[in-house]
């Protein structure tokens, strides 16, 4: 499954490399290329290639939605038991695919992630931020991988159908999968410098990664119980707010001092309002969470396997 955005020069090489590596390893496969609204003619090339070849399915998106959406579309169209994602710019090497597949089957993993140990990108703007990001993601999500950003990954397809992607969450697929209880591991893969075209990302990606990280860390802990976090802070704020108000009321009514000039008054008001707000958001989040699970018939747990008569399809 390949997301493609303006990679016209790479496409022929990519298709060639994919089919030769997979045929050699005697793997039954289908290549799914998702064109993410390219403007360089990649879409036309993919379309004509898909008409020529029997092993290629081209999915053309109407405009550029970003890599996450492209990957998500690819997952939708994939039919195999295992889905491999790979970049369309020839930076990943299709030769590694059989090894990833083997690891997946061998260790009964749900996800095998590539690790670009010898990464061929600019050191300062790409490799360093990615090192920091990887460490952070590891800390926050609890999944220890060296390289979340590597696109070359193998997934069991039933795992993927459980994942919903938003923002730029494709980077966090292992973390999301981990939340869903997946068994994850990583293997070192080859990485090449970009031969054609240019990278679609710059240093600004770091900011988006941090924001997505916040979302993920919240989801991991509180997806099914948002009130536990909002309610707790709401309660603390309200309690402190009431305590200060009580104190001020005492000062004004019993001692008879003027309280209009006191900064504490503002603090009390802010705390009360903020506390009330947090509580309301918590209740709304609870309702939203229920809608999220119930409307899609999403249980709050994930079954790995059920063994017994007629239990497999559940």
Choices 44-52, 83-91, 242-250, 299-307 (CB under 6 A): range interacting with ligand UDP: 83-91
* Partner whose binding site includes residue 200, from ligand UDP, Mg ion, none (CB under 5 to 8 Å by kind): ligand UDP
Does the protein bind ligand UDP through residue 200 (CB under 6 A)? Answer: yes
Does 74 engage in binding with ligand UDP (CB under 6 A)?
no
Distance CA 17, CA 21 (A): 6
Q: Is 4 in the site for ligand UDP (CB under 6 A)?
A: yes
Per-residue x/- marks for ligand UDP, 27-66, CB under 6 A?
---------x---------------------------x-x
- With contacts defined by CB under 6 A, name the span among 49-57, 199-207, 268-276, 303-311 that binds ligand UDP: 199-207
Q: What is the DSSP letter of 124?
A: I
152 interacts with ligand UDP by CB under 6 A: no
**Which one of the spans 76-84, 85-93, 245-253, 274-282 is the region binding ligand UDP (CB under 6 A)?**
85-93
Among 40, 67, 70, CA closest to 58: 70
- Show the DSSP H helices in the chain as ranges: 10-24, 42-52, 67-77, 97-106, 128-141, 157-160, 173-179, 205-222, 227-250, 263-295
Given 29, 201, 222, 233, the residue binding ligand UDP (CB under 6 A): 201
Residue 130 interacts with Mg ion (CB under 5 A)? Answer: no
Neighbouring C-beta atoms of residue 230, cutoff 10 Å: 21
The order of strands in the sheet holding 184-188 is 82-85, 153-156, 111-115, 184-188
Residue 54 DSSP one-character state: S
- Identify what 94 binds: Mg ion, ligand UDP, none; CB under 5 to 8 Å per kind: none
What is the distance between the alpha carbons of residues 114 and 197, in angstroms, rounded to a whole number? 23
Q: What angle do CA 121, 122, 125 make, to 5 degrees?
A: 120
Let me know: does 43 contact 35? Beta carbons within 8 Å.
Answer: yes
Partner that binds at residue 43, options Mg ion, ligand UDP, none, CB closer than 5 to 8 Å by kind: none
Number of residues that bind ligand UDP (CB under 6 A): 16
Q: Give the residue with the Cβ less far from ligand UDP, 71 or 281.
A: 71
The two structure tokens encoding residue 117? 């140990």
Q: Which of residues 44-103 bind Mg ion (CB under 5 A)?
A: 87, 89, 91
The smaller minimum CB distance to Mg ion, of residues 6 and 72, is found at 6
Contact 212, 172 (CB under 8 A): yes
- Which residues of this protein are in contact with Mg ion, per CB under 5 A? 87, 89, 91
- Which residues of this protein are in contact with ligand UDP, per CB under 6 A? 3-5, 7, 36, 64, 66-67, 70, 87-89, 91, 199-201
């Amino acid at each position: 499954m390949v997301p493609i955005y303006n990679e016209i020069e790479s496409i022929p090489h990519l298709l060639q490399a994919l089919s030769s590596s997979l045929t050699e390893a005697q793997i039954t496969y289908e290549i799914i290329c998702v064109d993410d609204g390219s403007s360089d003619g990649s879409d036309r090339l993919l379309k004509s290639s898909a008409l020529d070849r029997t092993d290629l399915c081209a999915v053309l998106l109407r405009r550029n939605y970003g890599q996450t959406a492209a990957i998500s579309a690819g997952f939708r169209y994939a039919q195999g038991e295992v889905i491999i994602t790979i970049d369309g710019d020839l930076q990943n090497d299709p030769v590694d695919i059989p090894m990833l597949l083997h690891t997946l089957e061998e260790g009964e993993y749900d996800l095998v992630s590539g690790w670009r140990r010898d990464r061929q990108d600019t050191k300062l703007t790409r490799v360093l931020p990615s090192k920091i990001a990887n460490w952070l993601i590891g800390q926050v999500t609890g999944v220890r991988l060296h390289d979340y950003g590597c696109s070359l990954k193998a997934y069991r397809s039933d795992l993927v159908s459980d994942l919903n992607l938003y923002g730029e969450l494709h980077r966090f697929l292992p973390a999301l999968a981990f939340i869903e209880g997946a068994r994850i591991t990583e293997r070192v893969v080859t990485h090449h410098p970009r031969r054609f075209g240019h990278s679609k990302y710059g240093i600004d990606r770091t900011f988006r990664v941090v924001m997505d990280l916040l979302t993920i860390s919240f989801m991991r802990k509180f997806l099914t119980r948002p009130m536990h976090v909002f309610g707790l802070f709401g309660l603390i704020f309200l309690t402190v707010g009431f305590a200060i108000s009580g104190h001020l009321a005492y000062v004004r009514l019993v001692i008879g001092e003027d309280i209009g000039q006191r900064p504490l008054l503002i603090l009390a008001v802010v705390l009360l309002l903020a506390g009330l707000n947090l509580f309301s958001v918590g209740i709304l989040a609870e309702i939203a969470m229920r809608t999220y699970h119930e409307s899609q018939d999403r249980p709050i747990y994930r079954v790995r396997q059920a063994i017994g008569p007629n239990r497999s399809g559940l």
